[in-house]
Structure 1
Amino acid sequence: MALEWVALGYAAGAEAIMLLFLTLPGFDRIRRGMISVVRSALKPLLSVVPFCLFLLMDIYWKYETRPTCEQEHSCTPTEHLRHQKSIIKSQRNGILIASALLLYWLLFSVTSLVIRVDQLSQRIEKLKRQE
């Protein structure tokens, strides 16, 4: 299961880097190239959404089937520590899922806004040339 989390982490990192290059001011040449790269990468990156839902279901399944320590003295310290580590890992993975989904949505929204701004600026320049 660790490979799935690494793949999701790389996907979220790639989304963050693309989003950074699209939103930083002063990189107009890079931005124009990044727009085409991001537009072609948005459809394959859409696979992050069902992948995140699958991993969320995995977290839920692990939560539901975990052994419980109903009484304080029924678990050994090792079992209790393993249980606490499992909870922390689940929380970390939940944050990774949320960040990957949020970054994809931001990347999609920012890309569409940047494309719209470029179209409007081209339209303004065309109208200025006509006058």
Structure 2
Amino acid sequence: MGLQWVILTGVVAAEALVAALVTLPAPRAIRSRIVALASFLLQPAASVLPFAAFQLLDIRWKNEHRLMCTSEICTIEERTRYEKSIFKAQRNVLLCISACLHYWCIFRICQYHKEIKELEETEKSLKEE
């Protein structure tokens, strides 16, 4: 069960690295190649969205079917285990949300770069006329 969270953590780290590379200032030739590479990787990386959504549904289902340990009948160990599982679920929700948010940010940044390039080409063609 922990392997999926390790994979999602790696994906989030890779997305953060790609987002940093795309947003760093660089010469136009290098920037265009980085954006082209990121755009090329976006389509296979889109599989992170349904994976994260499934993980969110799994967390929701486990939260609804979790044994509550809020009464005085629970022992200290049971209460600690309950609180630890709540903290893990919250961490995993943040991980899923950050995976989706990073993907969206990279997608939008690549779209903005493509739009800027098209506008520059249009401006150049209008200046030539």
**Aligned structure 1 segments of 4 or more residues deviating by more than 4 angstroms:** none
The CA deviation at 1:57 is: 1.1
2:77 maps to a residue whose letter is T
CA distance in 1 between partners of 2:27 and 2:77 (Å): 53
Q: CA RMSD of the aligned region, Å?
A: 1.5
- Name the structure 2 match of 1:11: 11
1:100 maps to a residue whose letter is A
Look up the SS of the partner of 1:26 in the other structure: coil
CA distance in 2 between partners of 1:116 and 1:17 (Å): 23
Q: How many residues align?
A: 129
2:90 maps to a residue whose letter is Q
Q: Structure 1 residue 100 and structure 2 residue 99: aligned?
A: yes
Q: Structure 1 residue 26 and structure 2 residue 31: aligned?
A: no
Gaps of 5+ in 2: none
Q: Does the 8 Å contact 1:22/1:31 carry over to 2?
A: yes
The CA deviation at 1:70 is: 4.6
The CA deviation at 1:116 is: 0.9
Q: Does the 8 Å contact 2:69/2:82 carry over to 1?
A: no
Identity of aligned residues (%): 40
- Name the structure 2 match of 1:84: 83
- Name the structure 1 match of 2:50: 50
CA distance in 2 between partners of 1:98 and 1:37 (Å): 24
- Name the structure 2 match of 1:109: 108
**Could you state the TM-score of these two structures normalised by the residue count of structure 1?**
0.89
Q: Does the 8 Å contact 1:21/1:30 carry over to 2?
A: no
